[in-house]
Amino acid sequence: MTPKMTPALKALTGTTFSCLACLIIFNIAVNIWLPAGLPKFQDTTNLWGTQVAKLPPLMQSKDDADVLIVGASGILFPSVRCDDAFYKRQTRYDDWYMKYKIWTYSKSDYFANLLSKRLDKNISIANSAVGGCMMSDQYLILNKYLASGKHPKMVLLFSGPKDFLDNHRTKIEKTSTYMQLADFPIRIADIIQGNSRVESAIPELTEAVMQSISSYYFYRDDYRALLANQTAKITHHPEDLKKAMVLLGTEEKIPLTKDQKEEAKQKADAKFAPTKDLKDLALFKRIYLPINNVQFETQSKYFEKVIALAQSNNIPIQVVFMPLTAQHTGVLPPETWANYKTRVREIASNAHVPCWDPAQDIHFKSDDFEDSAHLDAAGGQKFFMYLTNRICGDPRVCQNLTGSKVLIGQH
């Protein structure tokens, strides 16, 4: 007579548990085989959105840049525009270019070239700026970047009022950057510290718990792609029907998907000159007004945490105000604009961190901007030359970047 199985034993021998056990074993094997993850197979654009698609490759990169740029779109746009001019690439001002070129950009080669020439040493720059991110996001980016084993010689933190005030992102745990980078301990700490509301943060913890328990939860699509790719190599067969049609020369018979049609339309609608019509002011009015003072206080705390994080890792940090048009700053109530500048300077001063304001030292014309908030190539060149002069004019910064005690001459 077959002995009766207890409910616990039935569960252990059931199909569900067996599948789970196999997945866990498979996950462990892949992590051992590919400890850096699956960068060739992970579709970060679909997982997290285009704006944060650059973060996983940036974190996984083995390159340890000399300078890390931390900020939002204010520094991202001039980096792209100046690099396009530097490499004689034709830049564009349409939505497709913004989505697929600007948001995914992680360099600032024009700026790096200026520094390298002045310091007579090759200086590398990693650009971690993400469009639309706030100070809470920038703290997470710096935290995860340093946790990946990198140690830049300098952090440049670029600041704008939108980093502290954004009515489209009132909950820190709802931003794309936070959803991607915040692990379980960080989310719990934010709830305890009162940085996020319990009622909105608790539902998001499910994702974080699953991520901390097993990376399989987030990489299951990548595993499927990995298996298909390896099987195709072994059998010498295409991975899917689409690739088979390409090999047969009949791929034109496959109709375009909705996304492909949209991409083709956006490419056809390419714009090669900025409109400079300041239509974005209507958007910024909705972003800033009414002023959310609670959010401002929360983001100010994260600004302090960004500085403290860099200093705790013995990394010099410089705070830089991004130039804005007078029309843009005019959207904010005068007392809010003054309070923002004062608070940033106070926090930086209390931490003995330099705070640079290019708009006070050099003149930016309206033609230096492509809209109310973003420098164009001409404005970007002024801006990066200013930064180069400030950096190379500080012997302590030069010494840290070059590893030499020799003062860098001005030329």
Q: What is the pLDDT of residues 9-46, one digit of tens each?
A: 555 555 656 666 676 676 667 666 655 555 444 443 44
What average pLDDT does the segment 315-328 reach?
97
Helices (H) and strands (E) in the chain, counts: 21, 5
CA separation for the pair 393, 410 (Å, rounded): 8
Q: What angle do CA 79, 312, 166 make, to 5 degrees?
A: 50
Q: Which parts of 70-150 fold into alpha helices (H)? A: 73-86, 95-97, 109-119, 135-147
Nearest to 60 by CA among 126, 15, 135, 112: 126
**What's the pLDDT score for residue 193?**
78
Whole-Å CA distances, 3 to 6, 10, 11: 9, 12, 16
**What's the pLDDT score for residue 6?**
61
For 181-205, the pLDDT digits (tens) are 877 667 777 777 777 766 666 666 6
DSSP secondary structure of 306-367: HHHHHHHTT--EEEEEPP--HHHHTTS-HHHHHHHHHHHHHHHHHTT--EE-HHHHS---GG
Sheet containing 355-356, strands listed edge to edge, beginning at the edge strand earlier in sequence: 125-127, 67-70, 154-159, 317-321, 355-356
Residue 170 — very low, low, confident or very high, per pLDDT cuts 50/70/90? confident
Map tokens 């088979």 to a residue: 244
- Pairing type for strands 154-159 and 317-321 reads parallel
According to CATH, the superfamily of the domain at 54-167+289-402 is: SGNH hydrolase (3.40.50.1110)
What average pLDDT does the segment 329-343 reach?
98
Tokens (6 digits) for 258: 């909705």
b/e sequence 370-393, b meaning 16+ C-beta within 10 Å: bbbbbbbbbbbbbbbbbbbebbbe
**What's the pLDDT score for residue 381?**
98
Residue 309 — very low, low, confident or very high, per pLDDT cuts 50/70/90? very high
Judge whether 179 and 310 are in contact, CB under 8 Å: no
Domain ranges of the chain: 23-43+214-277, 54-167+289-402
209 burial class (0-12, 13-18, 19+ CB within 10 angstroms)?
middle
**What's the pLDDT score for residue 221?**
54
Higher pLDDT, 6 or 333: 333
What average pLDDT does the segment 73-99 reach?
95
